[in-house]
Structure 1
């Protein structure tokens, strides 16, 4: 009995493989790292880190979180390799970046990290990729656009409700007024949203090319958006310190098309 050998047309096989739909790539969301001193196994160390809820919320939204160290040149190197950027809370912005001297209440400044982070935000904005800027992130977004900050908000508002005094980290709760039709109002459509905040600085002079789209009951700017950008939103409250994931999911949706 004769058995003919099986002949395989390698070109046809390769062509068939090419015709198969490839699985969509998960969008990559860069998360700006923060540095902090820790003690590990008895040794004092300085580490780069991110709040775990930011990592978790981004991953749950179908994206791959990527921690970005704030080093010189990181913006130019990585802006084209990520599909969106999350700029979390952190230390006070160096007031020399907006032409002021440090107030006695301004602390924990990191000038080199400030400059690296500003360059990264600018590179991602220029690439028309989505940005979610939280707390310090909003302040950096404002400074990047030529704005200034109130260095000690209690001197302006007459109260410390945005950062309640306590030995532990405590969130202040302030009612929000959102601009109808704004992107942030579309993400948080409830009639009476509320902030969960912990900050002692805030927008003073609004930067050029930004629109204020949310305010606390005392007039403090709580949300801004970059005019004409597909998705560049800054919020002053501590998104990521509560169970509300809507802002992270909105960032993920905006990043999706860049992963194609």
Structure 2
């Protein structure tokens, strides 16, 4: 699949796709713990698409695995440290983890250098933009004048925004529909677009909703929450691109 990656997977093994872990406090059997985790839908959708998902905690040295993967998924998560793009924190910017940010930036950078297929989701797309020298709107409602991208409701609610896609772009080919609609939950977004990126999707208010790395076979960022709905198209596209990989050491990760 996706022969344009020109990186055939060795016959007989499933492509290994890394998923950047997030940390969260949980209570288990009465004990308060902090765990590394991934959204189960990301794990399940990639497995259903023929891949072996691999959780990657954001600790020093994680970037050394980048070239040994067949694909990388960078999911949603906390806000990025604004100092990474030369800004002071907005009052609404929260839950930052500068150490994890720097590990994740190094991991994604190394993956792109190795031409590993990358799917960056929500925070992941924002990180992709910052990696390329771009900046972020730290609180999107200040720019758009509304909270439609992250509805203010008592429980978690996805915003539904009409999506305009660049004809002929990779994301337009993946979604392949006339009137796509996002399922989003974000209060930050691209401000200045990073060098080497192309904006390929926008909300009706002008918010950048999709970007692609211009000199990479498959590196796509989307602002919406794929993994929070039943839509598996982006995971299937990443799996297809990972299926064109030729990193034999990825199998060794699972043996060692």
Q: TM-score, normalised by structure 1?
A: 0.90
Tell me the residue number matched to 1:190.
Answer: 177
Structure 1 stretches of 4+ moved >4 Å: none
- What residue ranges of structure 2 are gaps of 5+ in the alignment? 1-9, 249-256
Alignment equivalent of 1:56, drawn from 29, 32, 44 = 44
User: Secondary structure of the equivalent of 1:258?
Assistant: coil
Aligned to 1:158: 145
1:52-100 CA distances to partner (integer Å, 9 max, x unpaired)? 0000000000000000000112112x11221000000000000000000
Distance 1:186 1:142 in 2: 22
In the alignment, does 2:88 pair up with 1:88?
no
- Determine the C-alpha separation between the residues in 1 that align with 2:156 and 2:23: 18
Q: What is the TM-score of this pair, normalised by structure 2? A: 0.92
Whole-angstrom CA distance in 2 between matches of 1:126 and 1:81: 12
Pair member with larger Rg: 1
Deviation by residue 1:117-155 (Cα, 9 ceiling, x = unmatched):
000000100001100000000000000000000000000
User: Could you report, residue by residue, the CA deviation over 1:149-197 in whole angstroms, capped at 9, with x for unpaired residues?
Assistant: 0000000000000000012111000000000000000001100000000
User: What is the Cα-based RMSD across aligned positions, in Å?
Assistant: 1.0
Secondary structure, in 3 states, of the residue corresponding to 1:138? Answer: helix
1:111 aligns with 2:102: no
Gaps of 5+ in 1: 1-21
* Offset, 1:23: 4.9
User: For 2:160 and 2:28, how far apart are their aligned partners in 1?
Assistant: 34
Instruction: Name 1:19's counterpart in structure 2.
Output: none
- Greater RCO (Cα-Cα under 8 Å, separation 6 or more): 2
Contact 2:67-2:116 at 8 Å conserved across structures: no
Q: Give 3-state SS (helix, strand or coil) of 1:257's partner.
A: coil
